């Protein structure tokens, strides 16, 4: 049997591209190309491709339509929101995400943002670099511990569960809301977590963290009403997708101190406009969508990708396919 052709579009540096390619299984011919390559060149590459891997997770409609042999577009990322899922379905091309390969990386980043917000890490670190150590007199204690506080997790998929496991080690009280993937009673007992309504979670949590895909239903799910239900001492974390939280409402909540702080790894527009008011807010920490791509997660993503490709090549249904509608 002839080798299968896999085209890998990516903006990873050459060393990491090779890390991915090295995980290919026997019989896989991997052609690597820059993600920013012109569509004319991409069209020529995918005309006879059996599979396409993309990282970041975007491919134009024109390129997708040219991939007439393609059986699967395999994402190395977790989100489907940049893919035209209806078009892929019409073309008979499955679209799969990374199968949770980034769950540890994002969970660790989530915990870091929780701690950084409570300890005002960026504020004090920037002061030290600017030559301001700390006031010698009348020092205000404005940093806090997370022990004993209540963490509300919105979305209990691969990442939400990993966050729960890590949060338990910090002696946080755990609760969650998930409309689509509620845990079984045994899973809840194992994780030490209880299910609550969305409103209850917002009203009673000291920390709220979001771990949901960006879909029509989750777009803007945390807006003015939801932020208004949170405690003035509470913190919100978002390492999922920027559109999940209404950024105008978040800016208002932070400026008015109706919530204490926020930690974001994602924004609706990336990179944001330099004049975006969120960038000027002191009680907000923003990282540039770096939670998931770690040195350790890249080979995990590659292993899952090539195993899924082999699965489909053998005539089996693709794993980790899109279950949600685009926004």
How far does CA 326 lie from the centroid of its chain? 16
pLDDT of residue 134: 79
Residues 217 and 238 in one domain: yes
- Which whole number is the average pLDDT over 4-27? 96
Domain that holds residue 131: 103-286
Task: Judge whether 322 lies within some domain.
Answer: no
Q: Does residue 129 register a pLDDT over 70?
A: yes
pLDDT of residue 181: 87
Average predicted confidence (pLDDT) for the chain: 95
Residues 272 and 298 in one domain: no
Active site residues: 241, 270, 289
- Which whole number is the average pLDDT over 23-27? 97
Task: Judge whether 326 lies within some domain.
Answer: no
Residues 93 and 114 in one domain: no
Token pair listed for 226? 């939801």
Q: Does residue 82 register a pLDDT over 70?
A: yes
What does the pLDDT look like over 131-161, one tens digit per residue?
A: 988 776 667 789 999 999 999 999 999 999 9
Based on the structure, what is the number of domains in the chain?
2
pLDDT of residue 323: 66
Which H/E stretch holds residue 204? helix 198-204
- Which whole number is the average pLDDT over 89-99? 96
Residues 274 and 300 in one domain: no
Task: Judge whether 320 lies within some domain.
Answer: no
Give the predicted TM-score (pTM) of the model.
0.93
Max CA pair span of the chain: 77
Q: Does residue 96 register a pLDDT over 80?
A: yes
Residues 168 and 268 in one domain: yes
Residues 135 and 261 in one domain: yes
Residues 88 and 110 in one domain: no
pLDDT of residue 81: 87
Residues 144 and 227 in one domain: yes
Of all residues in the chain, the percent with pLDDT exceeding 70 is: 97
Residues 127 and 79 in one domain: no
Check the CA dihedral 302-60-240-15 and report its sign.
positive
Give the phi and the psi of residue 163 in degrees, each rounded to 5.
-65, -45
Q: Does residue 25 register a pLDDT over 80?
A: yes
What does the pLDDT look like over 243-284, one tens digit per residue?
A: 999 999 999 999 999 999 999 999 999 999 999 999 999 999
What whole-number distance in Å separates Cα of residue 3 and Cα of residue 26? 8
Q: Does residue 106 register a pLDDT over 90?
A: yes
- 3-class secondary structure, 316: coil
Residues 110 and 247 in one domain: yes
Which H/E stretch holds residue 235? strand 235-238
Give the relative orientation of helices 121-129 and 103-119 as an angle to the nearest 10 degrees. Answer: 70
What does the pLDDT look like over 211-230, one tens digit per residue?
A: 999 999 999 999 999 999 99
What whole-number distance in Å separates Cα of residue 214 and Cα of residue 242? 8
pLDDT of residue 137: 61
Task: Judge whether 325 lies within some domain.
Answer: no
Beta bridge partners of residue 7, listed in sequence order: 31, 52
User: Which CATH number fits the domain that encloses residue 67?
Assistant: 3.40.50.720
Beta bridge partners of residue 96, listed in sequence order: 74, 321
């Amino acid at each position: 049997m002839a080798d299968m052709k896999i085209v890998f579009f990516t903006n990873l540096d050459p060393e990491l591209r090779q890390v991915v390619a090295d995980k290919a299984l026997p019989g896989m011919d991997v052609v690597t190309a820059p993600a920013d390559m012109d569509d004319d060149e991409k069209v020529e590459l995918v005309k006879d491709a059996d599979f396409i891997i993309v990282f970041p997770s975007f491919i134009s409609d024109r390129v997708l339509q040219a991939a007439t042999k393609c059986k699967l577009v395999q994402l190395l990322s977790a989100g489907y929101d940049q893919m035209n899922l209806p078009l892929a379905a019409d073309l008979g091309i499955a679209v799969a995400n990374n199968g949770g390969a980034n769950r540890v990386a994002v969970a660790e980043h989530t915990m870091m943002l929780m701690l950084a917000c409570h300890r005002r890490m960026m504020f004090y670190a920037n002061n030290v670099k600017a030559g301001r150590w700390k006031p010698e007199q009348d020092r205000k204690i404005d940093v806090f511990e997370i022990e004993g506080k209540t963490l509300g997790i919105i979305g209990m998929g691969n990442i939400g569960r990993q966050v729960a496991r890590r949060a338990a080690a910090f002696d946080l009280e755990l609760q969650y809301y998930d409309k689509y993937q509620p845990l079984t009673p045994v899973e809840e007992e194992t994780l030490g977590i209880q299910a609550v309504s969305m409103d209850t979670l917002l009203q009673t949590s000291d920390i709220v963290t979001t771990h949901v895909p960006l879909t029509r239903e989750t777009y803007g799910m945390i807006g003015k009403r939801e932020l208004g239900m949170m405690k003035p001492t509470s913190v919100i974390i978002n390492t999922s997708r920027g559109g999940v939280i209404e950024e105008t409402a978040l800016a208002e909540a932070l400026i008015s101190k109706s919530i204490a702080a926020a930690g974001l790894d994602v924004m609706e527009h990336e990179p944001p406009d330099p004049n975006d008011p969120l960038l000027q807010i002191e009680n907000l920490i923003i990282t540039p969508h770096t939670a998931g791509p770690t040195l350790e997660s890249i080979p995990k993503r590659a292993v899952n990708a090539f195993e899924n490709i082999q699965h489909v090549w053998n005539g089996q249904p693709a794993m980790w396919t899109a279950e949600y509608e685009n926004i």
